[in-house]
Chains A and B, each alone.
Chain A
Amino acid sequence: MGKRLRYSLVTFLAVLGPGFITAMVDNDAGGIYTYSQAGARWGYLPLWTLLPITILLIVTQEMCSRMGAVTGKGLSDLIREEFGLRTTFVMMAALILLNLTNIMADFAGIASSLELFGITRYITVPLGGVAVWLLAVRGTYRSVEKIFLLACIVYVAYIISGILVRPNWKQAAIDSVRPVMMLQGEYITMVIGMVGTSIAPWMQFYQQAATVEKGVGPKEVRAARVEVILSCILTSVIAFFIVVACAGAIYNVKPRDIADAADAALGLKPFGQYTYILFAAGLLNASLFAVCILPLSTSYTVCEGLGFESGVNRRFQEAPIFYWLFTLLIVVGAGSVLIPGFPLVKMILLSQVLNGAVLPFVLIFMTLLINKSKLMHEWTNSRFYNIVAWTSVALMIGIVLALVALSVQQMTRGS
């Protein structure tokens, strides 16, 4: 028994990484902003979305982890092999666009969190960009990754902040299990944003690639599953406390829209100096972590899917497209934050909604792929999985269509 436990623990530690990192980066600057905004504007009301989001998150991420472990190939490779070049190309183009807005949001997160400490973005953002580029190209990222993982303890900050503001726990508990749907444009946008930021297309690509790179094999599918489930629950717990913190600190005082994640931190200020610093530090770590991972993983995914040479262990001449894409993502992502008057918040909101809109397609591909016994052998989806997967696809499409209908209605009424 003792030996068995130790064995499972060793297997678990061996697969630890892909799911955990994905989950941590999931709560990046864009995520923190969306959760804060939801709490500040709607109070405890949006909490009910977290339960279905967690289930959806577990199902999607576990599917990727399983596909990576069994096939040893990335998601973009599989899409290319099974659905052809055109589909892959469209998918990759959408992914670049999406991830670029995510990168912008994260550079903005670096800027605004450090501005809270009085350092101007004209220093922090260029410095951050150069650092990220060097870390990746010099191949030193691996060693830094451990520091980031350790720094994830900062996320406890959100839990503490959430408790420090003394929210209405009873209300929070009720709203966590009571779904409220309002046919109101802003509300639906918020719901899509919540889903879009929690379950973003980049995560599936990243999770699968990381699982493959980690060398997780079919034998470790179970251990990897446990890792995914725990990581996803952790993500949602953090999201819960961010919503609660902002609901307690901002909504309870006066419901309003917040300008960015740093604004949310400011809103926490009346509840103590530490709450404020903790929130800001969490934002900084999340943004830095995400900015290190997103440009690199985007370039990998795109180049692998389209069949270009990729990887930081290749020289620039060998993998020019990889390096150009990577550099461009950082330059544009960081640069846009420095342009005065750039509609950053709009971009971030747009990216969350776009995430939500592209997600159904990624899910459709994933569910089709994972049910091919040619690829997955005995590890295809169970019926329960398929029901959850297809229901979420239908649900996501429904929500997106509702959003489109609403904006059309608003436009026609406006004219």
Chain B
Amino acid sequence: MIQFIIRRLLLSIVTLAIILVIVTLIPNVAPGDPARKIAGGTASPERLAAVTESLGLDKSVPEQLRDVAGDLIRFDFGEAFTKPGQSVTGLVRTSLWNSTKLVLFALVLVLPLSVAGGVWAAYRRDTWIDRLIVNVGVALSSLPEFVVGVLFLALLAVPIGFFKVVANPPEGANIFTQLQFLLLPALTVLTVYFGYIARITRASTISVLDSDYTRTAFMKGLATGEVFRRHTLRNSLLPTVAVVGTQLGYMFGGMVGLELIFNYPGLGKLIFDAVDSADYPLLRGGVLTVAVIYMIATLSADLLIAWMNPRARLNLGEG
């Protein structure tokens, strides 16, 4: 197990290093002068020089790489370009905390409901229930979050006062008020992820239900609930854990549209604002943070899988 953890950790670091290189290289490979495009055609020479510096383009590529790598290791991305005096790390930390609240609340809704939906669909395979869950799920899970968001705004937030049009609660609100404000964005995440996770759970549950050991469990007279608890779920949830791990990065930083619609100051909104105000250090800090979160999430998912299923330790350890 120790060997597996070390291997897996090294792999994550390699991945992170590659992302770092890609993010650093993008402004360098951009054709023409990216600083001029970002600053605008009429920018003063001083402004142009400042934008060039914010992109890191005043230095050579190896120097840029070294700087960004150092920033990432110290988790200090310097000062935000458009907000003098404010550190990128501080801004990122606030947004990260907001995103965490939203993601946790969303997961509390998404996980039980979609796993239950998937297991139910598998149990009632090829009935109308199964088809309903799978087809509605496929349809909904393909929608961009901002589309679902505006639909919820129009259908729920405007006619029903309980649902709030903005997700950010007033200062000093208690936890229930905070959850009330977060409900619509969390419901949007539920809508988008339900079908995806339910479908993965359904597929793996069906393959487990078809296996010999499940048949044996049924044949030795165990009740259905007992079979699911003791034999089926432990194995059928492995792919679900893996998928949730890979999707966490997206939930944290990818839902830019959703956070924009509900004006929620999470990581996605931070990244959008960075683009909007042409703040490359902030943008890079946000993107690299999402990459780190993804790394931690997939790592945790793999460790969880290895713990749930000893066989996975072998497979992953070899890879």
Interaction A to B:
no
